[in-house]
Amino acid sequence: MSDGVLLLAAWLAGFAGMGWFALAMETHWRQACSEAAGPPAARLRAAGTIALTASLALCLYVDHPSMAALVWVMSLAAAALAVAFLLSWRARWLRVLLFGKPRN
Amino acid sequence: MFQTFRQAMTWLHTWFGLLLGFVLVVVFFFGSLSVFDREIDRWAIPESRFAPQPMPSFDRVLRPVFESMQPSRESVDLMRDRVNGPMPEHFDVVRQWSAYTTHRDPVLGLFAGYEVPNAKDPEEAVWGERTIDPRDGRVLSDDHFKIGSQFFYPLHYSLTLEWREIGYWIVGFSALMMLVALVSGVVIHRKLFRELFTFRPDKHQRSVLDLHNMTGVVALPFHFFFAFTGLVIFAGIYFPLTETQLKPLHDRHERIEAAETGLPHDRAGVAAPLASVDAMVAEAQRRWHARGMAGDVGFLSVQHVGDANAYVSVYRAGTDRIALTGEGIHFKASTGELLREDPPATTVDSVNEFLTGLHLQHFRHWLLRWFYVLGGLTGCVCITTGFVFFVEKRKRQHARQDSRGARLVDAMAVTTVTGMLLATLGILIANRLLPETSPDGWPGRGDLERYVFWGTWALAMTHAFWRGAPVARGERNPAWREQVLAVGALAVLAALLNWATTGDHLIRTIRAGYWPVAGVDLSLLAGAAIAFLVARRLARRTPPRARTEPAHV
């Protein structure tokens, strides 16, 4: 696979990770789903951690470690911005990260 | 004075942030543009719009050009009162020739330093500079102003205030206070993680603060590392120990180092010819290849030209990693004999190389470049929203007390934010409209472009202050919207002028895959689109208390 595709995958993993971290928070969970029940916070955070780690692994696979570290940190910043703006603009779209139905 | 630590931090953050924010927003914005300085150069100099070139043959292309060079008139004039007696007409003793290129440069910059007879400080030299087309050695006009690398980039680190290097000091102090602002900001914020993703639009002051916090926090590592590494890069200017107290030690160290490395510190005073430099370059590339490294030459220099002690240094263009390394290989100029291969960096050197390389970006990684632009622009948004919050919080109170504070700060914010964008577009437009050569008696083309830049900025400032009366009544300054609209219009105009004057419209540049020019045009158009959206939001009728965010950049 080309580096571009792998880096896109790294960013998407970062985006998913940041999204899960956001959904693990009560306020943002309510923005995304009008579920009565609160977020399965522990599971969402675990998923977030795995996704961010995967994102780092992909960055390391593509570039020299010194470069990969910077690419990863900056791509997380971009991912966090994207999640934040999505939450304030089309919060429900984030449900895509819950694969359609909020799990409890 | 303050009851709690947080109050003290709030005071610090508010006032230092406000004062130095005006400098920092300029540093952040032109820093963001400098990420693509070479690409902006291509846009500004149409005859240099071709693919990046490797370092050309020294023997065939570079040497004849170097031999025809002389120091620039400005450099000679600057030196005039630092010599005993008159300056010579012609400078014969060449101290150094050097050529520098990157993986993004179609044209090649050549530099030559000359010894000055009877100089009060014999270490000083006069300098000449040339830009050539490396494909055939053709010399490009010196009057073609490289707006990206020779103007936006120096603005980023010195504000182009050259008098006593005052610009470096202002920027350095601002960078130091930026670190303070980041730390104090984190202390004030409290809900750092809980509100990481929080942006509540249409909540007036709250939205502005949300945006300020969010852009500050998500790019916190970027802001921190860039302020810090910027200081590391110029540490030699801020702590000029080797030029002041420790000068004797420094000079002695230079000689000892010369003895250890075998690279002569001084001329021998005996003339000697120059062997084939191309053969030395080929040997250097063979050695890099043997170490498994990409072998493009980034920097090539000949020291003590024409002397028996002359040596040639060949440095690698370090495009494959962050660290700013060269893996230099040095040869005796008269014979081509290998003098020295730079050893692997020590740990301290490696850290330094990583930190400076992180900031100076010699690497080849387009995505990371764009991420840097994003980081820089989030910095701009963070500072701008800081200004807006400062004004919003105070303007009604100031209106009641008949104080002019909020009005002043608001007008300065308009000047530094939208005024800076207008000035930037002004120089790009001037670049496309000014005649190829200035009429006799006029300043050079590059100077005129600079005057347009500062003139536009001054006009924007006048406009911001002239329109500022409503702020004193607790309302919004209409200059925000008017200037944002002007930004949109001028950005479109700049892209259209590029088409009209060079024929390089977007369809052509994109189809040809010439991204330097297509990228600048697309960024101009994207900026225009954002500007028009922001202007529309600003035009919405809002009660005086309700204000939407004007920050874009």
Least confident of B320-324, B448-452, B501-505, B535-539: B320-324
Say which residue, B552 or A42, is predicted with more confidence: A42
In whole angstroms, give the CA distance from residue B62 to residue B55: 9
CA distance A67 to chain B (A): 6
Each residue's pLDDT tens digit, A14-25: 999 999 999 999
Put simply, whether A73 touches B (Cβ < 8 Å) is yes
Each residue's pLDDT tens digit, B194-227: 888 989 888 888 899 999 999 999 999 999 999 9
Q: Do B378 and A81 touch (CB under 8 A)?
A: yes
Put simply, whether A67 touches B (Cβ < 8 Å) is yes
Instruction: Give me B97's structure tokens.
Output: 């020739």
Q: Map residue B302 onto helix, strand or coil.
A: strand
Is residue B199 within 8 Å of B191, Cβ to Cβ?
Answer: no
Put simply, whether A23 touches B (Cβ < 8 Å) is no
Three-state SS letters, B379-440? HHHHHHHHHHHHHHHHHHHHHHHCCCHHHHHHHHHHHHHHHHHHHHHHHHHHHHHCCCCCCC
pLDDT score, position B361: 85
- Report the pLDDT averaged over residues B1-14: 87
Residues of B within 8 A of A81 (CB-CB) are 214-215, 218, 374, 378
pLDDT score, position A100: 60
In whole angstroms, give the CA distance from residue B480 to residue B543: 16
**What is the chain A residue with the closest CA to B373?**
A74
Least confident of A95-104, B35-44, B130-139, B142-151: A95-104
In whole angstroms, give the CA distance from residue B236 to residue B243: 9
Residues of B within 8 A of A70 (CB-CB) are 322, 358, 368, 371
Distances (CA, A) of B408 to A66, B205, B258: 45, 19, 57
Phi and psi angles of residue B132, each rounded to the nearest 5 degrees, phi first: -125, 160
Which H or E run contains B67? helix B63-68
> Above 70 in pLDDT, residue A104?
no
pLDDT category at B245 given cuts 50, 70, 90 is: low
- For the packed helices B420-433 and B479-502, what is the interaxial angle rounded to 10 degrees? 20
pLDDT category at B89 given cuts 50, 70, 90 is: confident
CA nearest to B96, candidates B263, B326, B282, B280: B263
**What is the chain A residue with the closest CA to B374?**
A78
Q: Do B197 and A80 touch (CB under 8 A)?
A: yes
* B17: CB partners within 8 A, 6+ apart: B181, B185, B383, B386
Half-sphere exposure (CA, 13 Å, Cβ side) for A45? 7
Instruction: Give me B467's structure tokens.
Output: 């329109």
pLDDT score, position B553: 39
The closest CB to that of A80, out of B196, B200, B354, belongs to B196
pLDDT score, position B411: 95
> Above 80 in pLDDT, residue A103?
no
Say which residue, A45 or B122, is predicted with more confidence: A45
The CB density around residue B453, as the number of other CB atoms within 10 Å, is 25
In whole angstroms, give the CA distance from residue B462 to residue B421: 15
Half-sphere exposure (CA, 13 Å, Cβ side) for B536? 6
pLDDT score, position B545: 46
> Above 80 in pLDDT, residue A30?
yes
Residues of B within 8 A of A25 (CB-CB) are 194, 197
In whole angstroms, give the CA distance from residue B107 to residue B418: 33
Q: What's at B253, amino acid-wise?
A: H
Each residue's pLDDT tens digit, B352-395: 888 888 898 888 899 999 999 999 999 999 999 999 999 989 88
- Report the pLDDT averaged over residues B235-263: 73
CA distance A3 to chain B (A): 11
Phi and psi angles of residue B542, each rounded to the nearest 5 degrees, phi first: -125, 140
Put simply, whether A64 touches B (Cβ < 8 Å) is yes
Highest mean pLDDT among B162-171, B291-300, B450-459: B450-459
pLDDT score, position A82: 96
Vertex B220, ends B391 and B203: CA angle to 5°?
Answer: 40
Q: Do A66 and B321 touch (CB under 8 A)?
A: yes
The closest CB to that of A7, out of B196, B198, B367, belongs to B367
pLDDT score, position B266: 86
pLDDT score, position B497: 97
Distance of CA B146 to the CA centre of its chain: 12
pLDDT score, position B550: 45
Q: Do A70 and B321 touch (CB under 8 A)?
A: no
CA distance B214 to chain A (A): 8
CA distance B198 to chain A (A): 6
- Report the pLDDT averaged over residues B518-538: 95
Least confident of B18-27, B51-60, B121-130: B121-130
Is residue B358 within 8 Å of B321, Cβ to Cβ?
Answer: no
The alpha helices in B159-194, defined as continuous H runs, are 166-189
Q: Do B199 and A77 touch (CB under 8 A)?
A: no
- For the packed helices B37-44 and B515-539, what is the interaxial angle rounded to 10 degrees? 100
Q: Which of A27, A55, A70 to mutate to test the interface with B (most CBs of B within 10 A)?
A: A70
Is the ipTM above a cut-off of 0.90?
Answer: yes
> Above 80 in pLDDT, residue A66?
yes
Mean pLDDT, chain A, rounded, equals 90
pLDDT score, position B128: 92
Distances (CA, A) of B344 to A28, B216, B305: 50, 37, 28
Put simply, whether B201 touches A (Cβ < 8 Å) is yes
Q: Do A27 and B322 touch (CB under 8 A)?
A: no
Is residue B35 within 8 Å of B372, Cβ to Cβ?
Answer: yes
A–B interface: beta-carbon pairs under 8 A? 73
Vertex B482, ends A85 and B36: CA angle to 5°?
Answer: 55
pLDDT category at B547 given cuts 50, 70, 90 is: very low
Q: Write the burial class of residue B31 (CB in 10 Å: 0-12 exposed, 13-18 middle, 19+ buried).
A: buried
Q: What's at B518, amino acid-wise?
A: A
Residues of B within 8 A of A72 (CB-CB) are none
In whole angstroms, give the CA distance from residue B311 to residue B261: 12
Put simply, whether B368 touches A (Cβ < 8 Å) is yes
- Report the pLDDT averaged over residues B25-53: 94
Instruction: Give me B543's structure tokens.
Output: 């009660």
Annotated domain spans of chain A? 3-98
Mean pLDDT, chain B, rounded, equals 89
Put simply, whether B367 touches A (Cβ < 8 Å) is yes
Vertex B61, ends B60 and B64: CA angle to 5°?
Answer: 85
Put simply, whether A32 touches B (Cβ < 8 Å) is no
